[in-house]
Amino acid sequence: MVSIVSGVLTIILTYDICRRLYDEKKALISAVISFCCPLLLFCSTRILIDALFAFLVAFTVWSFLLASKSNQRSYFIFSGFIFGLSLLTKQLGILILLTCLYILFRDGFSKQKLVFFIYFLFTAVLICSPWYIYFYKIYGTISPWWTKPSFELISIFPFLRMVVNRPWYFYVTYIILIAPVYLFAFMNIVYVLKNKRINAEIIWALSFLIPLSILGINGWGFQTRFIVPAIPALAILSANVLDTENKWVGVLGVLLLILGSLTGILNSLIFRPEEVFPFYFWFK
């Protein structure tokens, strides 16, 4: 139930984040894209931590957007509380920090903003430090390094062998295979960066895709569900492209959304594999 509710709330937050960054039309498109996302459906229909983590990451961004607009200390404290919860859920929650920094300082630096950011960080530390202190006292570390797949486990379990041996570009190519509409997101990223510009959703997406790829290269493996916190950002990036007067782009977008929805149904409602597989996999 927690995963299902988290998935639904993530879609709602994606809509409102996009509305605050852009407009109503793009927000509706991004919500539809998130709703049709096979990866979000996959994580929302299983007892996994990833849907909850994606929700808390999106909640952090949403609350931080509100805080940056309000310029009130209480909003930053609340956002820090949510950020702390995301760090308690998964240490990778730290990756959203760069997006928050961009949102706060994109219009310039000020002493007041810095003070607000300190409130944000201090609250997050207060929330998560008791657990990490306790964890350190028990294990002598704050990071569960032993979860890295060992040679023995890799040799025993074929799934782990598959995960560890995936290529460095796995996340980018595979997310397009299972949810082809995100091809528009990566086209948008290339276009914006080529024009020497940047925005919050690009930082958000790359803040997860790049570090997770580095971890995968260094033996931690590549699992598709790890990048579900980047789904709201990819949905917004795709919506920016699909919000066009070109009807053929719109038609292509609808077809790709249908294909992604069918992939989600096959993976999450009909069959229940340990990993999300592309649509064509089920017809081999």
Paired tokens of 206: 């790359």
Amino acid code (one letter) for 49: I
DSSP state of 282: G
* Burial annotation 159-189 (CB, 10 A radius, 16+ → b, else e): ebeebbebeeebbeebbbbbbbbbbbbbebb
| DSSP letter string, 228-240 | GGGHHHHHHHHHH
Residue 146: per-residue pLDDT: 61
Distance CA 117, CA 102 (A): 11
Paired tokens of 197: 């510009």
| DSSP letter string, 6-31 | HHHHHHHHHHHHHHHHS-HHHHHHHH
Write down the number of H helices and E strands in the chain.
14, 0
Paired tokens of 61: 């961004």
Distance CA 97, CA 83 (A): 9
Residue 274: per-residue pLDDT: 79
Distance CA 264, CA 42 (A): 7
Distance CA 181, CA 36 (A): 10
Residue 2: per-residue pLDDT: 87
Paired tokens of 68: 């940056």
pTM of the model: 0.94
Amino acid code (one letter) for 207: S
C-alpha angle 248/251/252, rounded to 5°?
Answer: 85
Paired tokens of 130: 């008791």
DSSP state of 110: -
The mean pLDDT values, 10 residues at a time, for the chain of 284 residues are 92 97 95 95 90 96 95 94 95 95 92 95 95 89 76 80 90 95 96 93 97 92 93 97 90 94 87 82 75
Residue 12: per-residue pLDDT: 97
Amino acid code (one letter) for 184: F
Residue 150: per-residue pLDDT: 78
Question: Which CA distances in Å does 128 have to 56, 81, 123?
Answer: 14, 9, 9
The helix or strand, by DSSP H or E, that contains position 262, with its residue range, turns out to be helix 247-265
Q: How many CB atoms lie within 10 A of CB 42?
A: 28
Residue 284: per-residue pLDDT: 64
Residue 71: per-residue pLDDT: 85
